[in-house]
Amino acid sequence: MRRGRAEGQARRGVAGRTPQALVTVWAYPFLPDATRHAMDALERSVHDCHVCHTGRPAPLAEEVAFLTARLGRVPALERLLALRRAYRPSYGFVLACLPALARLHLHTATRLRFPRPMANVAGRGLADAA
């Protein structure tokens, strides 16, 4: 990965996912797939934050476990994984996504220095390169 890509992912996460989640909360009664839109916003934010920390993508469950180890329990992330196993519409989940998004991106922005050097070795991220 190029240097600065992680910073771009952090910015994209805040600038792109938060408005998507806000619109989903506001338009929930009118959007038949609003829960799926919120799930998408949270999944992408999890991915962006994980890549900022490690420099590499991973399966969603692994990314959630990685971030939970650093943040502590995040109920919206637990519900995200549960909804992926057995989907059902949930306005409570949609609402829970907003503070989860803020917490993920705030943690990433305050714990990491940007731009971050990214490992350029095939199959190795920052955690592996250290």
C-alpha separations of 60 from 30, 50, 66, 91 in Å: 28, 10, 10, 22
pLDDT of the residue at 122:
47
User: pLDDT value at position 114?
Assistant: 62
pLDDT tens across 27-83, in order? 888 888 999 989 999 999 999 899 888 888 999 999 999 999 999 999 999 999 999
Closest C-alpha among 21, 32, 19 to residue 97: 21
Identify the CA nearest to 114 among candidates 4, 13, 1, 2. Answer: 4
- CATH architecture entry for 5-112: Up-down Bundle (1.20)
Q: What is the pTM of this model?
A: 0.75
Cβ atoms within 10 Å, residue 73: 7
Domain ranges of the chain: 5-112
Q: Which of 69, 56, 73 is nearest to 116 (CA)?
A: 56
Quickly state the pLDDT bin for 17 (edges 50, 70, 90): low
